[in-house]
Amino acid sequence: MKRLLVVWLTVGLANTLLVWLVRPSHLGIALLIGWSVALIETAGVSAGFRWGDRRIGILTKKVEGIRHEQTPAHVLLSPHDPFYQLALQINYLQTHQRKVQRKMAGQNQEFATLLDYLPIGVMVIDRYRKVELANPAMEQFLQQQISPRRHPFTQDVRQFELASLINTALSESTTQHRVLKLPGTPNERTVDAQAIYTETSQDYFQVLVLLYDVTEVYAVEQMQADFVSNASHELKTPVTAISGFAKTLLAGAKDDPEKLTEFLEIIDQQSERLVELINDVLTISHLEAGNAVELAQVPVGRQVDAQVSLLKPLAAVNHVTLINHVPADLVVATDQHKFDQILKNVLGNAIKYNRPDGHVTLTAETTDKTWSLRVADTGVGISPQDQLRVFERFYRAEVSHSNQRVSGSGLGLAIVRELVQSLNGKIDLQSQLDQGTTVTLTFPLNAPS
């Protein structure tokens, strides 16, 4: 209002000065015309200011909407409008902001999806030792549901070594790394844990906790170490015996006929043991190399009967009776050589780990999609803790409770498992101490792919 009054007075005074320059007789008319012109010009200026204020108000409201991340409609003005270029740039700014928001929303969604399905446990802890972010994998590692709200990390991390690792990273402002054990169900897990210290500014820092499950890696490394250790031991025993008795014979024991026969028999037995071990190791290496499966229609019934006949002398020495209920006319598609190895190892174990006057029963069953061979013995049985490991290479189940000393390479069941898997089959072992063991081998009727 003040602005309009100033304009009106300025225009009126200017026109009044012009009036003094005209004749005195025309003074009244001149004054009237001057002030009328001033009034008209003031009204025009007033209308122009109101029009400008409306444009500025519209553009101001538009900018406020953009600032508050709203989506107001574009301002449409005529190209001849003095505010056209300003409105156009504001519209461009809003369009760019929408693109940036959509891109950020997409990236956030991708990040959230990646974090949800990442098998690595992730947790972000701020300088106040509170959890800002954690993914589902971290919940599985800690076996603890993590609240999405900020809270002290000690509510979730209750394992001492991991909590100590995080505290050290926070207090010493350094990245920490350690391999540790985390309790789990059913078994504990070996975890590679890192607490990565990151500083984004002088006053702000975070610790990123990453957990990698390396249980299988460490298990494989341990199996490799056990394999080398056990293989060396198993090889050393017969070689030492052969060398020792040979040197004893050369030293003069060969002149004693009884000693000569006894020592030669021992050398022969140890040589057979050494050959058996080497053959088993070679079999394992061939299986790892993935040798091909040679399928054919195999008369499994006759093959089982033949293997039973071959092992009857071993069964007689151990006073074990073999009972074969497998139909003689059973024919299936399989690899004859691999099946023969499977049968020899399973049946041999059933005989060796049996008790005097015990028996081994073989049965077969066929369904629409599978066929199975079951070997049940009345032997010493296997303890529950040993059942979890009997398929490991060189693992020997504890049989001290039966006072039995059974020779072997410790590779038999490991070979069986590898062979069964190569034929797309499954192996199931059920056992009770002093009751016996039943091994069930199940294979598909169709040829394995």
- Tell me, what's the pLDDT at 405? 47
In this structure, the answer to whether residues 6 and 68 fall within a common structural domain is: yes
Residue 201 counted as domain residue: yes
What's CA 300's distance to the chain center, in Å?
41
* Residue 329 CA neighbour count, 13 Å, CB half: 0
Angle between helices 215-250 and 257-288 (to 10 degrees): 160
Asked if residue 303 is part of any domain, the answer here is yes
Do 335 and 435 lie in a common domain? Answer: yes
Count of beta carbons in the 10 Å neighbourhood of residue 63: 14
Domain-located, residue 248: yes
pLDDT at residue number 257: 86
Q: CATH no. for residue 249? A: 1.10.287.130
- The pTM of the full predicted model, rounded to 2 decimals, is 0.51
Of 288, 316, 335, the one marking the end of a domain is 288
Amino acid type, 165: L
Of 149, 178, 213, at which residue does a domain stop?
A: 213
- List Cβ neighbours of 281 (8 Å cut-off, separation of 6 or more): 231, 409, 411
- Domain membership flag for residue 111: no
Q: What is the pLDDT of residue 118?
A: 85
What local confidence, expressed as pLDDT, does residue 10 receive? 55
**Does residue 336 sit in the same domain as residue 412?**
yes
pLDDT at residue number 185 = 67
pLDDT at 25: 53
Give the number of other Cβ atoms within 10 Å of residue 191's Cβ.
Answer: 22
**Which of 56-62's residues contact partners 24+ apart within 8 Å by CB, and which partners?**
56/83, 59/83, 59/86, 59/87, 59/90, 62/87, 62/90, 62/94
Place of tokens 């020495």: 317
424 shares a domain with 404:
yes
Sign of CA dihedral 238, 240, 241, 245: positive
Q: Is there a domain that residue 15 lies in?
A: yes
Same domain, 252 and 336: no
Domain assignment present for 218: no
Largest Cα span, the chain: 171
Domain count, the chain: 4
Which of residues 184, 213, 242 is at a domain's end? 213
149 within some domain: yes
DSSP string across 107-151: HHHHHHHHHHH-SSEEEEEETTSEEEEE-HHHHHHHTSPPPSS-E
Residue 357: both structure tokens together: 């006057």
Q: Is 94 exposed, middle or buried (0-12, 13-18, 19+ CB in 10 A)?
A: buried
**Domain that residue 46 falls in:** 2-99
The confidence score (pLDDT) of residue 375 equals: 95
Please check whether residues 205 and 268 belong to one and the same domain.
no
Residues 352, 388, single domain; the answer is yes
* Whether residue 318 is found in the same domain as residue 246: no
β-strand pairing of 436-444 with 358-366: unpaired
Peptide bond into 186 cis (omega under 30): yes
Same domain, 348 and 422: yes
CB contact at 8 A, 431 and 387: yes
Residue 90 sits in the same domain as residue 122: no
Return the CATH number at 151: 3.30.450.20
On whether residue 113 sits in a domain, the answer given is: no
Same domain (yes/no): 64, 125: no
Enumerate long-range contacts of 239-245, CB under 8 Å, 24 or more apart: 239/270, 239/274, 241/266, 241/267, 241/270, 242/267, 242/270, 242/271, 242/274
Residues 166 and 180: their CA atoms lie apart, in Å, by 13
Query: Does 309 lie in the same domain as 264?
Result: no
pLDDT in tens, the chain (449 residues): 445 444 445 555 555 544 444 445 555 565 555 555 556 655 555 655 576 677 788 778 877 877 777 777 777 777 888 888 888 888 888 888 888 878 887 776 776 777 788 889 999 999 999 999 999 999 999 998 999 899 999 999 999 999 999 999 999 999 999 999 988 767 788 999 999 999 877 778 999 999 999 988 887 787 777 777 777 777 787 888 889 889 988 888 888 888 888 889 889 888 887 887 787 777 766 666 666 677 888 899 999 999 999 899 889 988 999 999 999 999 998 988 889 889 988 998 899 889 899 999 999 999 988 999 999 999 888 888 777 778 777 666 655 444 444 555 567 788 888 889 888 899 999 998 888 999 999 999 875 44
Q: What is the pLDDT of residue 7?
A: 47
Separation CA 134–CA 145 (nearest Å) = 10
121-126 sheet: strands from edge to edge:
151-152, 130-134, 121-126, 205-213, 189-199, 176-182
Residues 345/415, Cβ–Cβ less than 8 Å: yes
